[in-house]
């Protein structure tokens, strides 16, 4: 990432596509089983995450910022993976910046609507706060009941603030990939099959998540 | 000419009617602090309050349609659970904590005994989805409301939209809870110089201010903080309070200081309902306080009260009973909405 820096005049880039991947293949929920190595496999049932505060930069300066920028990307609903940006004119930019998750201000502001509505399944009920990132599935590696794993990553208060900001170089492309294989390479599924509340482990996982996003040149 | 005059008369009349309506919805009593709740994000209206009231009393919020918020928060006991130490929920599963009295919530910045909830709007999500309480999902609640006979219309009247959302459901419930203001006890009349304490109550008030007022701070009778008041740990429940949320060892054994308004009716007492009588509470404060690392500085020195002084102190606490609040028709079961819905 970032090895070839291409300042790009982005003309009609008014849609961003967030594409979940498993290595080189696009990630499909439930029906597919992916190989972790020669003998272990994995299947995914839920992948949902918030993208917020989308912004474009040129030479480090913001050139365009989305208002009210909160998007729930849900791998089970393809249309949520395309984020339509309401931009009137073309802009010149060399970087895109966004957050994974919901900032602390929104987290303490009560009931929200739209993609932030608590019916979206991304709000903890027994302790206030948004789940920034949710990944669930099964793998023979897991020692848990039914070989399930569940990662609900969130937390807005220090020292367990899991909110992450990502800045990527634009590459004349509107496609941002998130590689779950890369993410899992940093987790020992046999030891850590669930994270369900704000904690030090959640923060570590959030940092790993932020490193699996990349812009793919087309 | 005639028209002009009537307009001149009408404007002030309408204005004052409008003001009164506003006043009735929510009012900060004189000498009370500013509410914590940001009303600008959820401005009160009659329709929303009434909708919230219906939701509060409607068991449609629970999985098998048997438990409502009011099952555990009954008006006649200051919105706590009648006579249950640990709240009973769906299928009579027993919860792990005593349900707190609900009042003056607009002044509260953090909710639950351990502060797990950071905003009144999202409070209802806790009991709705708690396996021991209502065991339902907000997604399903919204779907059930949408397909009910009465709610789409009520949401339309309240929010201008008959498509029901989680946000609107929660904000309506908040609206009703925000109106639960208890401010008309004898204590309040005395403060407004409309009544006087008996000599026993006066003595009790002095003892209260000296020994209890730091934590149960007037006029809300809570300082809104988490404190360790020296209760022993119940080894069956192993509830250490605030620390389970903050993960900070300095918060071990700290619980939210509850208000003492209407304490006459909010028994049993403490987070696990371990005391049935106010006398037992006072015996705890004089003789039962357990020393530990996190014990509040306000209780480091033993509280000394004679048995007569305890009687006086209880007499004062009874002046915090607000009959108007306990019997206010605006807070009771909304027959006009919920019973009409049963009609096919």
Q: Which of B237, B231, B236 is nearest to B257 (CA)?
A: B231
**Residues B227 and B307 grouped into a single domain:** yes
Here the contacts of B77-85 (C-beta below 8 Å, separation 24 or greater) are B77/B101, B77/B265, B77/B266, B78/B102, B78/B103, B78/B182, B78/B261, B78/B262, B78/B265, B78/B266, B78/B325, B78/B326, B79/B103, B79/B180, B80/B265, B80/B266, B83/B267, B83/B268, B84/B268, B84/B273, B85/B268, B85/B272, B85/B273, B85/B274
Residue B2 lies in a domain: no
More confident residue, B233 or A98: A98
CA dihedral A63, A57, A51, A74 (to 10 degrees): 100
B151-159 vs B138-146: helix crossing angle, rounded to 10: 100
Residue B121 lies in a domain: yes
Q: Which of A123, A196, A120, A114 is nearest to B118 (CA)?
A: A123
> What confidence score (pLDDT) does residue A3 get?
35
β-pair type (A25-26, A131-139)? unpaired
Q: What is the CATH number of the domain that holds B227?
A: 1.10.760.10
> What confidence score (pLDDT) does residue B181 get?
95
Task: Tell me which residue has tokens 């998007």.
Answer: A71
How many alpha carbons fall within 13 Å on the CB side of residue A120?
28
Helix (H) or strand (E) holding A200: helix A200-210
Q: Which of A121, A128, A199 sits opposite B122 (nearest CB)?
A: A128
Residue B122 Cα, gap to closest chain A Cα (Å): 6
Q: Do B166 and A126 touch (CB under 8 A)?
A: no
**Residues B81 and B215 grouped into a single domain:** no
- β-bridge partners, B312: none
Residue B337 lies in a domain: no
Q: Which residue of B has its CA nearest to A197?
A: B245
**Residues B194 and B318 grouped into a single domain:** yes
Residue ranges of chain B with pLDDT lower than 50?
Answer: 1, 23, 343-344
> What confidence score (pLDDT) does residue A10 get?
46
Q: Do B118 and A129 touch (CB under 8 A)?
A: yes
Here the contacts of A85-90 (C-beta below 8 Å, separation 24 or greater) are A85/A13, A85/A14, A85/A15, A85/A16, A85/A54, A86/A14, A87/A14, A90/A9, A90/A10, A90/A11, A90/A12
Q: How confident is the model at residue A90 (pLDDT cuts 50, 70, 90)?
A: confident
> What confidence score (pLDDT) does residue B89 get?
54
Contact call for residues A48 and A122 (beta carbons, < 8 A): yes
**Residues B137 and B196 grouped into a single domain:** no
Set of chain A residues whose Cβ sits within 8 Å of the Cβ of B171: 110-111
**Residues B48 and B130 grouped into a single domain:** yes
Please state, as a whole number, how many other Cβ atoms lie within 10 Å of the Cβ of residue A8. Answer: 17
Q: Which of A108, A110, A126 sits opposite B126 (nearest CB)?
A: A126
Residue A177 Cα, gap to closest chain B Cα (Å): 30
> What confidence score (pLDDT) does residue A6 get?
43
Distance (Å, rounded) from C-alpha B255 to C-alpha B339? Answer: 39
More confident residue, A64 or B14: A64
Mean pLDDT, range A33-57, rounded to an integer: 94
Set of chain B residues whose Cβ sits within 8 Å of the Cβ of A126: 116, 126, 129-130
Residue B329 Cα, gap to closest chain A Cα (Å): 28
**Residues B225 and B306 grouped into a single domain:** yes
> What confidence score (pLDDT) does residue A5 get?
40
Q: Which of B70, B100, B111, B115 is nearest to B263 (CA)?
A: B100
Q: How confident is the model at residue A174 (pLDDT cuts 50, 70, 90)?
A: confident
Residue A116 pLDDT greater than 90, yes or no: yes
Contact call for residues B230 and B290 (beta carbons, < 8 A): yes
Question: Which of these three, B181, B206, B240, is where a domain ends?
Answer: B181
Q: Which of B38, B42, B122 sits opposite A118 (nearest CB)?
A: B122
Mean pLDDT, range A92-109, rounded to an integer: 93
pLDDT in tens, A134-159: 999 999 999 988 899 999 999 999 88
Q: Does residue A183 sit in helix, strand or coil?
A: helix
Residue A201 pLDDT greater than 80, yes or no: yes
Q: How many domains does chain B have?
A: 2
Helix (H) or strand (E) holding A138: strand A131-139
Question: Which of these three, B131, B164, B181, is where a domain ends?
Answer: B181
- β-bridge partners, A154: A131
Q: What is the model's pTM?
A: 0.87
- A198: Cβ contacts below 8 Å, ≥ 6 apart: A127, A129, A154, A155, A156, A157, A160, A162
Set of chain A residues whose Cβ sits within 8 Å of the Cβ of B126: 125-126
Please state, as a whole number, how many other Cβ atoms lie within 10 Å of the Cβ of residue A12. Answer: 8
Distance (Å, rounded) from C-alpha A16 to C-alpha A54? Answer: 10
Q: Do A108 and B118 touch (CB under 8 A)?
A: yes
Q: Which of A8-22, A157-171, B218-232 has the highest mean pLDDT?
A: B218-232
**Residues B241 and B303 grouped into a single domain:** yes
> What confidence score (pLDDT) does residue B99 get?
84
- CA A27 vs CA A140, A147, B62: distances in Å: 18, 20, 36
Residue A12 Cα, gap to closest chain B Cα (Å): 34
Percentage of chain A lying above the pLDDT 90 cut: 68
Interface pTM (ipTM) of the complex?
0.81
Q: Rounded to 5 degrees, what are φ and ψ at B254?
A: -95, 135
**Residues B125 and B238 grouped into a single domain:** no
Residue B335 lies in a domain: no
Q: Do A109 and B138 touch (CB under 8 A)?
A: no
Residue B296 lies in a domain: yes
Distance (Å, rounded) from C-alpha A201 to C-alpha B4? Answer: 72
Residue A131 Cα, gap to closest chain B Cα (Å): 14
Q: Which two tokens stand for residue B169?
A: 């459901």
**Residues B170 and B250 grouped into a single domain:** no
- CA A127 vs CA B22, B236, B250, B307: distances in Å: 33, 23, 20, 42
Q: Do A119 and B166 touch (CB under 8 A)?
A: yes
Distance (Å, rounded) from C-alpha B315 to C-alpha B197? Answer: 10
> What confidence score (pLDDT) does residue A4 get?
38
Distance (Å, rounded) from C-alpha A172 to C-alpha A73? Answer: 22
Residue B113 lies in a domain: yes
**Residues B247 and B119 grouped into a single domain:** no
Residue B208 lies in a domain: yes
Q: Which residue of A has its CA nearest to B138?
A: A119
Q: Do A110 and B129 touch (CB under 8 A)?
A: no
Q: Which of A111, A120, A129 sits opposite B121 (nearest CB)?
A: A111
**Residues B165 and B63 grouped into a single domain:** yes
**Residues B241 and B273 grouped into a single domain:** yes
Number of A:B CB contacts under 8 A? Answer: 68
Q: Do A118 and B41 touch (CB under 8 A)?
A: no
Surface of A (48-87) touching B: CB under 8 A = none
> What confidence score (pLDDT) does residue A117 get?
96
More confident residue, A210 or B62: A210
Domain span holding position B273: 186-324
A126 touching B, CB under 8 A?
yes
Q: Does residue A75 sit in helix, strand or coil?
A: coil
Q: Which of B120, B142, B245 sits opposite A119 (nearest CB)?
A: B142
Q: Give the mutation candidate from A103, A106, A128, A201 for the B interface (greatest B CB count, under 10 A).
A: A128
Q: Which residue of B has its CA nearest to A118?
A: B166
Residue A16 Cα, gap to closest chain B Cα (Å): 27
Residue B33 lies in a domain: no
Q: Which of B170, B126, B2, B140 is nearest to B60 (CA)?
A: B140
Residue A191 pLDDT greater than 70, yes or no: yes
């Amino acid at each position: 990432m970032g090895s070839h820096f291409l300042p790009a005049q982005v003309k009609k880039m008014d849609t961003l596509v967030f594409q979940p991947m498993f290595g080189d293949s696009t990630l499909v929920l439930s029906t597919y089983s992916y190989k972790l190595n020669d003998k272990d496999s994995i299947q995914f049932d839920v992948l949902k995450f918030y993208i917020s505060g989308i912004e474009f930069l040129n030479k480090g300066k913001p050139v365009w910022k989305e208002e009210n920028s909160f998007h729930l990307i849900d791998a089970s609903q393809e249309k949520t993976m395309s984020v339509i940006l309401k931009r009137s004119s073309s802009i010149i930019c060399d970087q895109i910046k966004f957050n994974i998750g919901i900032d602390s201000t929104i987290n303490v502001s009560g009931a929200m609507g739209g993609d932030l509505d608590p019916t979206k399944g991304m709000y903890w009920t027994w302790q206030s706060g948004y789940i920034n990132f949710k990944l669930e599935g099964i793998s023979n590696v897991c020692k848990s009941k039914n070989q399930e794993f569940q990662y609900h990553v969130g937390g807005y208060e220090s020292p367990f603030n899991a909110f992450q900001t990502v800045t990527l170089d634009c590459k004349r492309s509107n496609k941002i990939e998130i590689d779950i294989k890369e993410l899992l390479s940093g987790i020992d599924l046999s030891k850590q099959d669930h994270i369900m509340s704000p904690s030090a482990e959640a923060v570590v996982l959030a940092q790993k998540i932020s490193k699996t996003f990349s812009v793919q040149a087309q | 000419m005639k028209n002009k005059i009537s307009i001149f008369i009408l404007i002030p009349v309408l204005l004052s009617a409008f003001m009164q309506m506003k006043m009735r919805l929510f009012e900060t009593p004189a000498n009370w602090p500013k509410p914590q709740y940001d009303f600008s994000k959820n401005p009160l209206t009659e329709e929303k309050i009434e909708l919230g009231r219906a939701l509060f009393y409607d068991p449609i919020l629970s999985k098998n349609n048997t438990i409502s918020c009011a099952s555990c928060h009954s008006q006649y006991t200051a919105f706590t659970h009648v006579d249950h130490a640990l709240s009973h929920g769906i299928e009579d599963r027993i919860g792990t904590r005593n349900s707190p009295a609900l009042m003056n919530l607009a002044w509260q910045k953090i909710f639950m005994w351990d502060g797990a909830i950071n905003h009144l709007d999202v409070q209802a999500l806790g009991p709705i989805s708690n396996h021991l309480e209502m065991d339902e999902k907000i997604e399903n609640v919204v779907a059930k409301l949408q397909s009910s006979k009465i709610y789409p219309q009520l949401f339309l009247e309240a929010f201008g939209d008959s498509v029901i959302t989680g946000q609107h459901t929660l904000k309506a419930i908040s609206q009703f809870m925000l109106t639960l203001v208890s401010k008309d006890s004898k204590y309040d009349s005395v403060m407004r110089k409309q009544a006087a304490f008996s000599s026993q109550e006066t003595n009790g008030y002095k003892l209260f201010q000296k020994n209890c007022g730091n934590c149960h701070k007037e006029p809300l009778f809570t300082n809104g903080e988490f404190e360790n008041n020296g209760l022993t740990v119940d080894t069956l429940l192993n509830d250490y309070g605030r620390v389970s949320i903050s993960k900070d060892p300095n918060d071990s054994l700290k619980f939210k200081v509850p208000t003492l308004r209407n304490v006459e009716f909010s028994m049993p007492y403490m987070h696990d309902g371990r005391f049935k009588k106010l006398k037992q509470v006072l015996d705890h404060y004089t003789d039962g306080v357990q020393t530990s690392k996190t014990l509040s500085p306000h209780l480091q020195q033993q509280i000394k009260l004679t048995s007569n002084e305890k009687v006086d102190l209880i007499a004062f606490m009874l002046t915090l009973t607000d009959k108007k609040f306990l019997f206010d028709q605006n807070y009771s079961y909304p027959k006009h909405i919920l019973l009409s819905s049963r009609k096919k």
